[in-house]
Structures are given as structure tokens and as C-alpha cells.
Chain A
């Protein structure tokens, strides 16, 4: 079946540090890939997405590239801020058997200190 594996947290960084969160997936065909972010006490919101191989999603200084050959969708940001402290979820959705379902990874908590 489909699955998503992402690095465990918490990841603790200083402000302006470089952030990478690894995400790999298992799925047949060409799933759509997403990063959702959950700020404290809030619901999830879409951070970025990519729908085909080699696509790069970007938003708010975050980037992730859909790598079919390594089945990965790693999230990166060059200079984090305290306001980036949140839980980040990698997720996939397949058109043919998921019926709109998002398959989530376990989530990675990121803590940015001043």
C-alpha cells in the first residue's frame, strides 16, 4: 500500500539556520505530493505541493522537489524564523485508489529558537 516516511523530530534550530526535513514515499504510479504545516493550536494548512516528477513546489521560502528516482520530497528552507516553529507533515494522494485520501507521514516537529 501507499506510505510516507519522514524524519522524526523534534528538530531544534537557531534562527537563520538551514532546515531540511526528509520525506520518502512508497506508492505505485505518480502520486501528488504535499507538505502541510500545523501551527500550535491550529488545523493543517497546505504549505506546498508537486504533482509530477521534477516539479518544485515553493511557498514562504520553503521548497521541495518531487524526485521520482529516489521517491523523495524533502522540505528545505534556507533561513528559518521563530515563526516557522510548527509540525510539518509530508503527504501523498493517488488518483486511482485513494479516493481523495491524503496518506500522511508521522509529522516532524520543528522548534526554532531566537
Chain B
């Protein structure tokens, strides 16, 4: 089954404790990205990757890091989480960066930073 998986689905942590949210897709997609969803703001892109070892900032990259060492994986790293990073996070992938492509979303990771 074609899918995007994320782990963990739920995470409660404390300020400053480094964490990683994993994302993996099995569709051989080139393009992957991370979004955060906040009430009244919709989804905003954090980082994206057009292929292995090619990553760039989205609209709200502050406080986040990513890496793309393998085509299927795109982890999101919070080196020193803060309460304003409490949010619902989605990983997404698509065949490539073409504007008309469908993007496939993971189930989401709900992060709470105390």
C-alpha cells in the first residue's frame, strides 16, 4: 500500500530536550516536505526536499532542521524545542516539485512542548 508514515503519532516533551520526528514514504517520490498545522492558520511549510541531499527552507523554518540522506526518509529535528512549537505536524511527499502533482500526507504527529 502506498503511504507516508510518521512516528511518533503523539509526543509530549519538555523545553530544550532534542527530539526527532521520522517520516518515510514507499512511493519513490522525489519531493518531500514538512508542514505544521495551527488553528486558524491552515498548514504552513517548514522545510522541503527536492531529492536526496537537497533541502531548503519553507515559510516557517526557525527552530527546525531536516536531512535527506535516503530518498524514502525525511526526518524533522527539533534541537531545542520551545512551547511555541506545540503543533500538529504533517509530512508530505509527491512525485516531484511540479505544481499540479497530488501531495500525499502522513497521519500527523501531535507535539506538545511543556
Q: Write the residues of chain A forming the contact surface with B, with a CB cutoff of 8 angstroms.
A: 4, 31-32, 36, 41-46, 49, 51, 89, 93-95, 98-102, 104-107
Query: Complex formed: what's the CA distance from A66 to B96 in Å?
Result: 23
> What distance in Å separates the Cβ of B2 from its nearest Cβ neighbour in chain A?
12
Cβ-defined partner of B99 (8 Å) among A31, A42, A43, A105: A31
Residues in chain A near residue B99, CB distance under 8 A: 31-32, 51, 93-95, 98, 100
| Pairwise interchain contact B45-A102, C-beta atoms closer than 8 A | yes
Query: Complex formed: what's the CA distance from A46 to B93 in Å?
Result: 12
Query: Complex formed: what's the CA distance from A69 to B31 in Å?
Result: 31
| Pairwise interchain contact A100-B98, C-beta atoms closer than 8 A | yes
| Pairwise interchain contact B48-A43, C-beta atoms closer than 8 A | no
Residues in chain A near residue B56, CB distance under 8 A: 99
Residues in chain A near residue B96, CB distance under 8 A: 100
Give the 9 A-B CB pairs with smallest separation, nearest first: A100-B97, A104-B42, A43-B105, A93-B99, A95-B99, A44-B105, A32-B100, A51-B100, A104-B43
Residues in chain A near residue B61, CB distance under 8 A: none
* Count: A-B pairs, CB below 8 Å: 68
A-B contacts besides A100-B98, A102-B92, 5 pairs, CB < 8 Å: A44-B43, A49-B100, A89-B43, A93-B99, A100-B48
Residues in chain B near residue A43, CB distance under 8 A: 4, 90, 105-108
Query: Complex formed: what's the CA distance from A100 to B101 in Å?
Result: 8
C-beta contact mask, B1-25 vs A, less than 8 Å → 1, else 0?
Answer: 0001000000000000000000000
Query: How many residues on B have C-beta within 8 angstroms of the other chain's C-beta atoms?
Result: 31
A-B CB contact pairs (8 Å), 27 listed: A32-B100, A36-B105, A42-B107, A43-B4, A43-B105, A43-B106, A43-B108, A44-B43, A44-B90, A44-B92, A44-B105, A45-B105, A46-B103, A49-B100, A93-B100, A94-B99, A95-B99, A100-B31, A100-B48, A100-B103, A101-B45, A101-B58, A101-B59, A102-B45, A102-B92, A104-B43, A107-B42
| Pairwise interchain contact A99-B90, C-beta atoms closer than 8 A | no
| Pairwise interchain contact A101-B43, C-beta atoms closer than 8 A | no
